[in-house]
C-alpha cells in the first residue's frame, strides 16, 4: 500500500433513541415490621383496635375485610345493626338501650294503650308504669291490651248471660212457689221497698246480689211485718200487723198510704165497708206512730 494513501474508516451510524412510556407509579407497600408482618399500630389503629386485632389474629387488612364480609353474610345485617347483650354484671339498667332500640318508649306516658268503648282509661294510666318497668315495647303493649280487652268483653258477656239465666229460673221458681198469690205477694214486696225508700237502682242491686227469688221473698216478709200485706182489696191488709211496728215504721207506712192513690180511693169510697177498713187502718197506724192519739171514727 502506497505511503501517501491514508486509510479511511466509515463512521458508524449514529445510534437512534426511542422514548418509552413512563412506568406506572407503584403503590406504597403497607408498613411492615420484621419479616413481612403488617404493622397495625403505625397504620393508625388505636390501642383498643390493637387488642381486637390480636384477639382475632388478623395479619393484614385483607383478612379484616374478609372477616367483615363473612360476618355480614352470616348475620344478614351490617354489624352496626347488631345488638350486644349485657351480662349479669352490667346490671338491669344496661338493658334499657337494648329495649329502646326494639321499640320501648323513653317514658311510660308515651305508650298508646287501647281501651274499650266507654272506658275512661284509668286502668291504662296505671298500667303504663307497669309496662315501662317491664321494658315492654309499644307493639307488645298493643297486642297484650287488645287481647285483654277482648277477654274482658267475653267475660262480661258470659256473666251477663249467666245472670239472665239465673233471674229467669228464680222468677219461674217464685211463681211456682207463690202460685195464684204471686201478683199480690209481688205487690206487697214492692210496697215494702217503697216504705223503706228503696228505689229501683237499689232494688236491682239487691236482686243482682241475692237473686230475684230471695230478694222478693225478703221484701215480702218485710211487707208482712210492716202491715202492708195485700188481700182481696188492693192496698189493704188482711190482718192487723201494726202491733209489731215501731213508731217510725208506722209513720213510714202512713206516709206511703197518703201517696197511694188506691188507698185514697178506698178512704173516700162510697162502699161503707171499704171506707171503714181504710180509716181503721190509718187509725191503728196513728196510734202506733203517735201514742195517745184519738182513734178516727170509721163510721163518719
Pairing between strand 32-33 and 37-38? antiparallel
CB atoms within 10 A of CB 44: 8
**Looking up cell 178506698, which residue turns up?**
266
Contact in structure between 135 and 99 (CB atoms under 8 Å): yes
Which of 274, 250, 249 lies closest to 264 in space, CA to CA? 274
Alpha-carbon distance of 188 to 177, in angstroms, equals: 16
Distance CA 187, CA 262 (A): 13
Instruction: Calculate mean pLDDT across residues 181-201.
Output: 82
Mean pLDDT of 194-221: 86
In this structure, of 1-5, 192-196, 252-256, the range with the lowest mean pLDDT score is 1-5
Digit-coded pLDDT (tens) for 31-65: 554 445 788 888 888 988 889 888 888 988 888 88
Number of H helices, E strands in the chain: 11, 2
Are 238 and 231 spatial neighbours (Cβ–Cβ below 8 Å)? Answer: yes
Rounded CA gap, 48 and 285, in Å? Answer: 101
pLDDT of res. 165: 92
pTM for the predicted model, two decimal places = 0.45
pLDDT digit string, tens, across residues 67-125? 888 877 776 666 666 667 777 777 777 778 878 888 899 899 999 999 988 888 898 99
Q: Is the pLDDT of residue 293 over 70?
A: no
Separation of alpha carbons 35 and 85, rounded Å: 40
Spacing of C-alpha 25 from chain mean position: 73
Amino acid at each position: 500500500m502506497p505511503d501517501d494513501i491514508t486509510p479511511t474508516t466509515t463512521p458508524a451510524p449514529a445510534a437512534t433513541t426511542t422514548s418509552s412510556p413512563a412506568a406506572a407509579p407503584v403503590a406504597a407497600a403497607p408498613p411492615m415490621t420484621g419479616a413481612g408482618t403488617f404493622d397495625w399500630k403505625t397504620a393508625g389503629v388505636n390501642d383498643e383496635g390493637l387488642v381486637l386485632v390480636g384477639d382475632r389474629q388478623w395479619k393484614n387488612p385483607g383478612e379484616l375485610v374478609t372477616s367483615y364480609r363473612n360476618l355480614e353474610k352470616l348475620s344478614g345485617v351490617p354489624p352496626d345493626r347488631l345488638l350486644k347483650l349485657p351480662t349479669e354484671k352490667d346490671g338491669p339498667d344496661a338493658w334499657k338501650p337494648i329495649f329502646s332500640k326494639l321499640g320501648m318508649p323513653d317514658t311510660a306516658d308515651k305508650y298508646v294503650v287501647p281501651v274499650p268503648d266507654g272506658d275512661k282509661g284509668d286502668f291504662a294510666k296505671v298500667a303504663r308504669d307497669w309496662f315501662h318497668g317491664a321494658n315492654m315495647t309499644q307493639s307488645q303493649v298493643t297486642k297484650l291490651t287488645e287481647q285483654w280487652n277482648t277477654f274482658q268483653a267475653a267475660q262480661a258477656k258470659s256473666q251477663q248471660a249467666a245472670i239472665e239465666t239465673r233471674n229467669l229460673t228464680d222468677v219461674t221458681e217464685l211463681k211456682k212457689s207463690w202460685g195464684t198469690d204471686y201478683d199480690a205477694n209481688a205487690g206487697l214486696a214492692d210496697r215494702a221497698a217503697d216504705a223503706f225508700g228503696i228505689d229501683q237502682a237499689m232494688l236491682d242491686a239487691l236482686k243482682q246480689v241475692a237473686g230475684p227469688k230471695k230478694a222478693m221473698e225478703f221484701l215480702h216478709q218485710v211487707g208482712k211485718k210492716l202491715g202492708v200485706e195485700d188481700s182481696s182489696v188492693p192496698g189493704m191488709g188482711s190482718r192487723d200487723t201494726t202491733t209489731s211496728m215501731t213508731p217510725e215504721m208506722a209513720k213510714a207506712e202512713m206516709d206511703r198510704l197518703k201517696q197511694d192513690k188506691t188507698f185514697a180511693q178506698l178512704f173516700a169510697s162510697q162502699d161503707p165497708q171499704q171506707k171503714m177498713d181504710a180509716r181503721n187502718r190509718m187509725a191503728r197506724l196513728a196510734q202506733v206512730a203517735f201514742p195517745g192519739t184519738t182513734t178516727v171514727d170509721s163510721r163518719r
